[in-house]
Chains A and B, each alone.
Chain A
């Protein structure tokens, strides 16, 4: 087990900067997800941790140890590839035994370690099967077992579920999380799927365009996004953001949304911070935390589209700048053409600086 520290990590490919000054501390035994859209630098970060790529500048520490110049085979890192990279011409046993064998471990020891790891991963009955005709969850276990047999301090997983069909992903997620509990290794998990990050990770590092946007527990990232990117990226659908101007009213500080009218008053703790901020703001609230306002106090918007996804219904309201999505139960009586008056739950409201995109927080 080992903690990982990334200090001022930068990676440039000729004149393209894949990663801009990344600082991240991953605790010993933590499951950290690197989450972001493709091209955000998450895989580059992972490859540098593994030693497949050299950082342009900055440091990678495993515990106290600087990894500069340490070749990938000596880093004590287990790597699970996107397609698992199982040696398909070998049996499961040969796959598991590969690492110790290449390092010249005695045969008796190899057998003992393969036996133990196979037992732990429930691969014992499959040991002599050819590796190329196994189902994908078995492949995942073989890939993890093949790395785990080397007793790595750190496990790196590069989008291991992206080739798995949707129905099976839930099974694989559960299995993977259980394996992590079993091995207690530090795990770094790269993904573009927020569901995977939210369900499995202890903490999530959200990245975009080579910049680390926010690090926090899944709920922190969901509830208190640090900026507009995280607010939009996390959640399905993402947070609603409406541009407006703070204005005082007799009920407290509200946001004047122009043609949409005026919002309900902001909670007191945010209001003070918003008063101190210059210029326009973005008024943010989760689609899940919207209620239909019976009394008429709220944002009045035309229904433009209704998406029924089974248990829930996503209602699209308004257009362009004032587009809002709201998630309701499936029996909501809204249809295209009707006008809905919706009110965000006051406690769920977040406000962002329209200029910088940063969250305006109480006391900050």
Chain B
């Protein structure tokens, strides 16, 4: 043991030195690094506990059949060790895979829709027009509505005797009595409409900030050189907004993956499991089935998948920054 530690402590500095070859004053740099390490240590410990501890706890529980009903404290969960059964179950859990697929569909529809609507609105709001400030405030309101309230709002709107059908009746001239929330396909559409309604404003807000930051004289210069509005948009505006577009999309992709509150109030994941997304599924497993070991396994699997996606996105972003810098 002590021999091993000695070996490690002897070897430890070597890779660090190799990573910064031929620096002018290595002694001074090491001194600075040491001080920096000491100064950030408390914060690092804190972060470690916030990030690492729950993760380890989750990993631990996910390897067991532990449940709050088992009568054991979570730390004693080792006695319920189940030989990775949670993970093998997960691979075979059709309901999990279909929830994952549904979540992906919602994301593939909602995020691009929010992006395009937000970009169109931002382009509109980059110019002056009468009543701009009022429209601006109205446009941002959905974002401020508590998701639970928004859920009830859309629940009411999409009742078979609700306003949506009333409007459709008035427009078509026939009495429309679509049972939106009881039809598997229509329920999913209604849920996506609610998400688009609520989160387009955020997209709009971020994209508008990016759009306003595009240097005006470069746009003027492009105009003088003969670029039409569409050419200006494609060659100047979009490239200048690249970073902010990636950020906006990343925020919405991550948030949308966790879609829950509005949806749960509108449909409860139903009819059947027609609108059951990952979050809804996990919620049900946690509160109804109470199989927390399995829940921990799902959550961890998703976290790993999302982390890999995030790393890819960040690499992409860093490259974009390098290219545009």
Residues of A within 8 A of B (CB): 50, 52, 72-73, 77-79, 81-83, 85-89, 98-99, 102-103, 130, 132, 146-147, 150
Contact = CB atoms under 8 A, between A and B. Distances in A.
Given A85-B215, A87-B236, A89-B324, A102 B226 contact: yes
9 contacts: A50-B224, A77-B224, A79-B224, A82-B217, A87-B235, A99-B225, A102-B231, A147-B225, A150-B225
B29 interface: no
B240 A99 contact: no
A234 to B, nearest CB: 30
Contact of A102 (B215, B218, B225, B240): B225
B240 A79 contact: no
A321 to B, nearest CB: 45
B210 to A, nearest CB: 13
Contacts of B225: 73, 98-99, 102, 146-147, 150
Interface string B125-145: 000000000000000000000
B39 to A, nearest CB: 34
A77 B223 CA distance: 11
Contact of A85 (B221, B239, B325): B221
Given A87-B236, A102-B226, A102-B231, 15 more contacts: A72-B224, A79-B224, A82-B217, A85-B218, A86-B218, A87-B218, A88-B218, A89-B240, A98-B222, A98-B227, A102-B228, A102-B235, A130-B325, A146-B221, A147-B224
Contacts of A103: 226
B319 interface: no
A175 B214 CA distance: 30
A73 B240 contact: no
Interchain residue pairs A-B with the least CB separation, the first 6 = A99-B225, A85-B217, A85-B221, A102-B227, A89-B239, A73-B226
A98 B224 contact: no
B95 interface: no
A85 B37 CA distance: 44
B220 interface: yes
Nearest to A150: B225
A145 B224 CA distance: 14
Contacts of A147: 224-225
B217 A81 contact: yes
Contacts of A99: 225-226
Main DSSP-derived SS at the A contact region:
mixed
Main DSSP-derived SS at the B contact region:
helix
Interface string B208-249: 000000010110111111111001000110011000000000
A330 to B, nearest CB: 43
A77 B220 CA distance: 12
B240 A81 contact: no
A87 B215 CA distance: 9
Contacts of A82: 217
Contacts of A89: 239-240, 324
A79 B221 contact: yes
Interface in B136-185: none
A146 B221 CA distance: 10
B240 A150 contact: no
A86 B226 CA distance: 15
A152 to B, nearest CB: 9
Contacts of A98: 222, 225, 227, 235
Nearest to A83: B217
B231 A132 contact: no
A146 B324 CA distance: 20
Point out which of B215, B225, B236, B324 has the most chain A C-beta atoms below 10 A from its C-beta: B225
Contacts of A85: 215, 217-218, 220-221
A142 B177 CA distance: 65
B202 to A, nearest CB: 26
Contacts of B228: 102
A132 B224 CA distance: 21
Nearest to B232: A102
B294 to A, nearest CB: 49
Interface in B23-68: none
Nearest to A82: B217
B325 A132 contact: yes
Contacts of A146: 221, 225
A89 B321 CA distance: 10
Nearest to B217: A85
A78 B223 CA distance: 11
Contacts of A77: 224
A82 B216 CA distance: 12
A72 B240 CA distance: 23
Contact of B220 (A52, A78, A88, A150): A52
A22 B66 CA distance: 88
